[in-house]
Amino acid sequence: MARIAVYDTTLRDGRQGAGISFSLVDLVAVAHKLDDLGVDYIEAGWPGSNPKDIEFFEALRHEHFRHAKIVAFGSTRHARSRVAEDQVLRCLVDSGAPVVTVFGKSWDLHVREVFNITEAQNIDMIRESVAWLKEQGRTVIYDAEHFFDGYRDNPDFALATVRAAAEAGADNISLCETNGGMLPFDIDEITRVVRGEVSTPLGIHCHNDSGCGVANSLAAVHAGAVLVQGTINGLGERCGNANLCTIIPDLAIKMKHEVLASPACLERLTDTSRIIAELANLPHDPSFPWVGANAFAHKAGVHVNAVQKNPRTYEHIEPERVGNRRHILISDYSGKSSVVAKAREFNLDLEDRELPGQVIDLVKRLENEGFQFEGADASFELLLRRAMGLYKPGFELKGFRIINHKIESKASVNEATIKVVVDGIEEMAVAEGDGPVNALDCALRKVLEKFYPILKNMSLIDYKVRILNGGEATAARTRVLIESRYGDEVWGTVGVSENIIEASWQALVDSIEFLLMKHLDGEG
């Protein structure tokens, strides 16, 4: 099969998504993660369009990339400018990027109603811009913007625009499905037509407004495109761009194409997806194909039993091929095989054959009360160890008290007092926090850090509250999920109670006990 070039536009098109903002340090970090992944092109932005992009291109001059080529993005010359004097084209060349992507209009609607110029003028802008950039010694990718909508309305004009780019020497012509409304069979058919019109290699750039961004990209490759544009995690304007985290393994594993710098790079895909989501300050969608936390998760007891015997029964590939892993979920749908498999994940040997059934009965009772262990592996491991008689608590609570002070229009002040016993020694601490739970967390850490300095490097990174029976109003049962981190380790814990402070305490204690168990009991 053919080699398909991967063109990442997370740092340009992806940044146009609502709520997406990277600092300069983030931009450089993302570029290196993309290079580590082995993509061929990194579209770094539109040089000269804003101060951050100016700084970024300047910073990139001092960075070394092992495989990826940096790309500068911009438009064809202005209708009233000469190419050699056009500010946008000059900034593209001055950026220092070895590759330039320049877009032009393929849809006569835009030519008439947006640019207010003639079709002939538009074609001249494309031809002259591509030719001048080639004269400057740049690799030139021509983005045929709105190509598929343009072809649908006026195929002769749309084809004339790509012929102009090809005649001017473009190294690649990427057909852009800019509005995201086409379907795969449309993309396949039209791409084949263009392939018959020009000899220049074709690329594809799709958006996801109809939910077909990935499928449309694959359809274009099936029809002969040899370059695919997209973003990590599908970031981008409106509904996002085609998701490279899905496209890349689809191309490599399902369609047997050569992608990325080497086959081994595929194993970095999940890590890349999660780190870039974190840098974008976005949650990583557990339902992402290939790289999501649930992509290889199994909940039903029948499924778990089958996967333990032969993973192919419910997994289309080995998760390790994309850097992911199998995840057994524990719930009231689980069976004994789920408990055994989960214990194996924790390096626990369930010799007692009666124990798995007893654990499942306990889980079902707790889930009926509102507990949920799918996102709280740490709480489940503690539950399992308690059932096996392997759990030794790191401290004993004697009591705590939380006071909330509110004076007129001033912000509330939350103060927690806590008393615990560690190895027979009773200690008490007082601390303030932004809220009652934060105050309680601060007080608990303050008293425990004397005995367990490791807690100084543990942090709570997420806190979620779910009301389970809203009809009970203020007496409703509450579920609290806490996510904690120590170095590269991240774990989840859960607590449930009618009292949100009590539920938070349960999850908080589990988070601390889990760290102490892993790193102070010979397991870390």
Question: What's the confidence (pLDDT) of residue 27?
Answer: 94
- pLDDT < 50 stretches in the chain: 473-474, 522-524
Instruction: Check the CA dihedral 103-106-111-114 and report its sign.
Output: negative
User: For residues 505 and 510, what is the distance between their CA atoms, to the nearest angstrom?
Assistant: 8
What is the predicted pLDDT for the residue at 237? 92
Contacts of 233 (CB under 8 A, 6+ apart): 243, 245, 273, 276, 277, 280, 282, 284, 285, 288
- What is the CB neighbour count within 10 angstroms for residue 403? 13
User: Which pLDDT score is estimated for 283?
Assistant: 81
- How far apart are alpha carbons 243 and 273 in whole angstroms? 10
pLDDT one-digit tens code per residue, 436-465: 888 888 999 898 998 999 999 998 888 888
- Global pTM value: 0.74
According to the model, what pLDDT value does residue 524 have? 39
Host H or E run for residue 60: helix 51-60
Residue-level pLDDT at 506: 92
CA distance to 8, 56, 66, per residue, from 61 (Å):
19, 9, 14
- The four Cα atoms 339, 345, 348, 351 give a dihedral, to 10 degrees, of 40
Residue found by looking up tokens 């992402």 in the block: 288
Burial of 405 (0-12, 13-18, 19+ CB in 10 A): exposed
**Cβ contacts of 380 within 8 Å, gap of 6 or more:** 330, 342, 363, 373
Structural domains of the chain, ranges and CATH numbers in brackets: 5-279 (3.20.20.70), 297-369 (no CATH)
Contacts of 3 (CB under 8 A, 6+ apart): 226, 257, 258, 259
Q: Report pLDDT for 490.
A: 85
483-492 as b/e, with b when 16 or more CB fall inside 10 Å?
bbbbeeeebb
Contact 230, 241 (CB under 8 A): yes
376 Cα distance to chain centroid:
20
